[in-house]
Amino acid sequence: MHSLPSHAMRPLCLNPSLCSSRFPFFSFSIPIFHKFKNNPTIYKKSQKGPPFFSIRCCGSGSVTAKPSWELRRNRAAVQEPDEKVDALRQLFTKPGIGIDAYIIPSQDAHQSEFIAECYMRRAYISGFTGSAGTAIVTKDKAALWTDGRYFLQAEKQLNTSWKLMRAGNFGVPQASEWLNDVLAPGGRVGIDPFLFSYDAAEELKEVISKKNLELVYLYDLNLVDEIWKESRPKPPNKPIRVHDLKYAGIDVVSKLSSLRAELVAAGSSAIVISMLDEVAWLLNLVDAAKLFVDDSKVTSEVMYHLKKAGVDLRPYDSILSEIRRLAAEGAHLWLDTSSVNAAIVETYKAACDKYLMNRGSRGKRKNKQYFESDSLPVGPSGVYMQSPVSLAKALKNPSELEGMQNSHLRDAAALAQFWCWLEEEIHKNVKLTEVDLADKLLEFRSKQDGFLDTSFDTISGSGANGAIIHYTPEAESCSVVDPNKLFLLDSGAQYVDGTTDITRTVHFGEPTAREKECFTRVLKGHIALDEAVFPENTPGFVLDAFARSALWKIGLDYRHGTGHGVGAALNVHEGPQSISFRYGNMTPLQKGMIVSNEPGYYEDHAFGIRIENLLCVQEINTPNRYGGIEYLGFEKLTFFPIQGWLNEWLADVEV
């Protein structure tokens, strides 16, 4: 499964289904901050990507399928009434609001990719359920931006009151540019500052200010929640689960100690960690560590675990008051503005200003807790750098790698059972839907030791549905699996010791010559990346072309990255590493990182092809070491094979 490389303390849940069994605070697994140095002058923009997409357009060669925009043109020109959008607009003129547009992003307060249903505000207001997108409602317009993975899905799900903005296509403005075009000078654009990283909010503010538009932070209410009311689902409240040390490899106390050393080196006295996978991996990380959480989720076992590590519990909603307290004490707070939400950063900056104003009126005064060193400035000040937890978590220790290998072996057994069952059913002409197959695969996986849940919603697409890159079948609308069409299955599981993610594309009959050629070129790209050897300090984008080259030679491409990071018994999409055409991510691939290898090709309304394994970066013993540096390559974690009968229908393709 692939992703766009997507805030303070609200619903603490990596995956809505995982909240029921494992609260993401306890995935203890540190390789102890491997010589990671932050550069505050270089690190300014988000490594994970802002919610306003800037994606390139990919060509599709001699594709004969009609483009999606042409099919959409036939829809009714008259806009359908949209009661939710109308209700939202009615709030614009309420006292204390006074806005001309409102932006609804995909994220929760932690910038999570997979969020609990109660925080799926963009899906509720627009009807579009893809994991990436931004909706904007003005007094007379409604528009939704999403990337190429979701164009077809958005076309199906948006009604005619919404305009689909295909991010990255020629002539499609970014969301901020569009606001400048449609709003009159002096207009006010509202956001919930808990749902935007500080960097994203500042970037938006800068662009719209060029047309004299004002960005308005609505701290006290979310407008979508106001119209959602009683029908809004409840937040997850199932208990937290402690991650066993035998899988984590290193205990919490050691991780806290390592991070405190990082704080001292950076001249910081405290740090806010808001990304859920980082919180899960490490906990809150200051001398008096505090975890902001709904205490109804904390079992006696978890309470003992936290106290043993020296972690205090605080109410989830008290994060802003704690930020103000730290500033009042003169704390130098480390904030990763690419992930910490705007509400927290703005609260800290305002509290710092207040401190300095008060200090100016009372004369100089040092705070014992935070100003014992003459090297630190008097008064609170922010240390704005990338979180040190992100890279430390990405470099897996031996216990984590062992767990990933073991979980993949069990997962492969479940997959072997599933595919054998499916082939038998197809040969018996049993009618099965896409949902039937997803449910059956879950049944096989659930019988494996240590199984917890799926790592994401299974993508089960037959024929044209396979071309919807992040298609999720629904029981009431899914297709029957057609043995005469390509079938794409992208799935994964969470085990107590590891996380899996695998995609296979199969055909149970005789594929067309076009399908054979496209599949062969995708497979060649997959093999090219799998066998790649590269010098240390190579960023992932350098390798992206390895997977695309065979497709490029006949003018084909795909609209997603080639590889994403994967957590160890944690989130299926992990940064900071990636393999993607998005060359802004300069993070080098390093030993111990896990990435996916998943090139693909998709013909709209016809078929989709993707082949995915997970790989671990490892050192390669090359006969030469030019420049005295190490050379790296990959070791496969995925054990399940690509179809053994492929040679029967691979095309004779010269690359």
* Average of per-residue pLDDT across 376-394: 81
Q: What pLDDT, on a 0 to 100 scale, did the predictor assign at position 378?
A: 60
How many domains, in total, are found in the chain?
Answer: 3
Of 57-61, 89-93, 146-150, where does mean pLDDT reach its minimum?
57-61
Q: Alpha carbon of 625 to those of 535, 620, 622, 631: distances in Å?
A: 9, 10, 7, 7
Mean pLDDT taken over the chain: 81
Three-class SS state of 183 = coil
In whole angstroms, give the CA distance from residue 419 to residue 433: 15
Specify whether the CB–CB gap between 104 and 224 falls below 8 A. Answer: yes
Q: Which of 150-164, 234-248, 534-548, 613-627 comes out lowest in average pLDDT? A: 234-248
Residue 276 and residue 217 share a domain: no
Q: Is position 18 within any domain?
A: no
The structure tokens listed for 42 are 């270089």
| 299 vs 607, residue with greater confidence | 607
Q: Does position 41 have pLDDT exceeding 50, yes or no?
A: no
Torsion sign, CA atoms 183, 188, 189, 190: negative
What's the pLDDT score for residue 389? 86
Lowest mean pLDDT among 9-13, 60-64, 283-287, 429-433: 9-13
Q: Is residue 265 part of a domain?
A: yes
Let me know if residue 318 belongs to a domain. Answer: yes
Strands 333-335 and 270-271, bridge-based pairing: parallel
Q: Say whether both 388 and 399 belong to one domain.
A: no
Burial of 627 (0-12, 13-18, 19+ CB in 10 A): exposed
Please report the pLDDT score of residue 67 as a whole number.
Answer: 41
How far apart CA 248 and CA 570 sit, in angstroms, is 11
Asked whether residue 173 carries a pLDDT value surpassing 50, the answer given is yes
Q: Which of 236-240, 342-346, 440-444 has the lowest mean pLDDT?
A: 236-240
Q: Which pLDDT score, from 0 to 100, does residue 396 have?
A: 95
Give the lowest-confidence range in 222-226, 260-264, 590-594: 260-264
- Residue 161 CA to residue 56 CA, distance in Å, equals 26
Whether residues 222 and 268 share a domain: the answer is no
334 plus 426 within the same structural domain: no
Q: Does 303 share its domain with 209?
A: no
- Same structural domain for residues 223 and 254? no
- Measured from the Cβ of residue 438, the count of other Cβ atoms closer than 10 Å reads 21
Residue 176 shares a structural domain with residue 165 = yes
Q: Is the pLDDT of residue 30 over 70?
A: no
Q: pLDDT tier at 507 (50, 70, 90 boundaries)?
A: very high
Classify burial at 327, counting beta carbons within 10 Å of its beta carbon; exposed 0-12, middle 13-18, buried 19 or more.
buried
Please, what's the b/e burial string for 549-582 (b: 16 or more CB within 10 A of its CB; e: otherwise)?
bbbeeeebbbbbbbbbbbbbbbbbbbbbbbbbbb
For residue 609, the model assigns a pLDDT of 96
- Residue 193 DSSP SS3: helix
- Residue 251 confidence (pLDDT) above 80: yes
Residue with tokens 């300090």: 537
Query: 198-209 and 175-182 helices cross at what angle (nearest 10)?
Result: 30
Interatomic CA distance for residues 521 and 513, integer angstroms = 12
Spatial distance between the Cα atoms of 633 and 167, rounded to a whole number of angstroms? 33
351 inside domain: yes
Higher-pLDDT residue of 39, 581: 581
How far apart are the C-alpha atoms of 387 and 495, rounded to whole Å? 27
Cα–Cα distance between 147 and 168 in angstroms, integer?
A: 7
How far is residue 195's CA from residue 214's CA, in Å, rounded to a whole number?
18
| Chain segment 150-167, per-residue pLDDT in tens | 888 888 899 999 999 998
Residue 28 in any domain: the answer is: no
Residues 612 and 495 in one domain: yes
Say which residues have a Cβ less than 8 Å from residue 164's Cβ, sequence separation at least 6.
Answer: 72, 143, 144, 146, 151, 154, 155, 158
> Which of 175, 200, 231 is the last residue in one of the domains?
231
Confidence of residue 290 (pLDDT cuts 50, 70, 90): low
Tell me the one-letter amino acid at 25: F
Q: What integer pLDDT is reported at residue 437 of this predicted model?
A: 97
Q: How many CA atoms lie within 13 A of 314 on its CB side?
A: 18
- In 497-524, which positions are buried (b, 16+ CB within 10 angstroms) versus exposed (e)? bbbbbbbbbbbbeebeeebbbbbbbbbb
311 and 431 in a common domain:
no
Contact between residue 571 and residue 431 where contact means Cβ atoms under 8 Å apart: no
- What are 411-460's pLDDT values in tens digits? 999 999 999 999 999 999 999 999 999 999 999 999 999 999 999 999 99
The domain that contains 411 carries what CATH number? 3.90.230.10
pLDDT, tens digit, 9 for 90 and up, residues 52-87: 333 333 333 333 333 444 444 444 444 566 899 999
Domain assignment of residue 478, yes or no: yes
Spatial distance between the Cα atoms of 614 and 338, rounded to a whole number of angstroms: 27
Give the model's pLDDT for residue 242.
78
Q: Give the residue-averaged pLDDT of 230-238.
A: 83
Same structural domain, 457 and 587: yes
Q: Is 367 helix (H, G, I), strand (E, B) or coil?
A: coil
Same domain as 273, residue 310: yes
How far does CA 366 lie from the centroid of its chain? 42
Supply the pLDDT for residue 278. 78
Q: Which residue, of 172, 197, 231, is where some domain finishes? A: 231
Please give the pLDDT value at position 143: 94
User: Could you give the strand order of the β-sheet that contains 134-138, starting from the edge strand earlier in sequence?
Assistant: 163-166, 142-146, 134-138, 101-104, 188-191, 214-217
Is residue 44 pLDDT above 60, yes or no?
A: no
**Helices 541-552, 513-530: inter-axial angle, 10-degree rounding:** 150
pLDDT surpassing 60 at residue 174: yes
Which of 51-55, 263-267, 524-528, 646-650 tops mean pLDDT? 524-528
Q: Are 457 and 115 in contact (CB under 8 A)?
A: no
Q: What is the pLDDT of residue 42?
A: 29
Residue 264: give the domain boundaries. 245-359+380-392
Shared-domain flag, residues 217 and 317: no
Consecutive H or E run containing 306: helix 300-308
Q: What are phi and psi of 485, to 5 degrees?
A: -130, 160
Is residue 645 predicted with pLDDT exceeding 60?
no
Question: Which residues on adjacent β-strands are paired with residue 498?
Answer: 495
Q: What is the CA radius of gyration of the chain?
A: 25
What pLDDT, on a 0 to 100 scale, did the predictor assign at position 20? 34
Question: Helix or strand or coil: residue 395?
Answer: coil
Position 618 pLDDT exceeds 80? yes
pLDDT of residue 55: 32
Distance CA 649, CA 445 (A): 30
Task: Give the pLDDT band of residue 607 (cuts 50, 70, 90).
Answer: very high
pLDDT 10s digits, 111-134: 887 888 898 999 999 999 888 899
pLDDT at 387 over 50: yes
Check which CATH number belongs to the domain holding 387 and give it.
3.40.350.10
Residue 107, helix vs strand vs coil: coil
State the pLDDT at residue 351. 87
Q: What angle do the packed helices 342-362 and 198-209 form, to 10 degrees? A: 90
Higher confidence at residue 42 or residue 313? 313
Residue 514 located in a structural domain: yes
426 to 53, 207, 248, 429, 483: CA distances (angstroms): 41, 55, 42, 5, 7
Q: How many CB atoms lie within 10 A of CB 351?
A: 20
Distance between CA atoms of residues 396 and 250, nearest Å: 11
Q: Whole-prediction pTM value?
A: 0.76
Q: How confident is the model at residue 289 (pLDDT cuts 50, 70, 90)?
A: low
Q: Per-residue pLDDT for 385 more than 90?
A: no
Answer yes or no: is pLDDT of 619 > 90. yes
pLDDT in tens, 331-341: 888 888 888 88
Q: Does residue 366 lie within any of the structural domains?
A: no
Rounded-to-integer distance, Cα 29 and Cα 403, Å = 11
Mean pLDDT value of segment 282-291: 52
Share of the chain above pLDDT 90, in %: 50
pLDDT at 123: 92
Of the ranges 8-17, 230-239, 254-263, 551-560, which one carries the lowest mean pLDDT score?
8-17
Summarize pLDDT for 358-378 with one digit per residue, the tens.
766 544 434 433 334 444 456
Does 306 score more than 80 pLDDT? no
Query: What pLDDT shows up at residue 472?
Result: 87
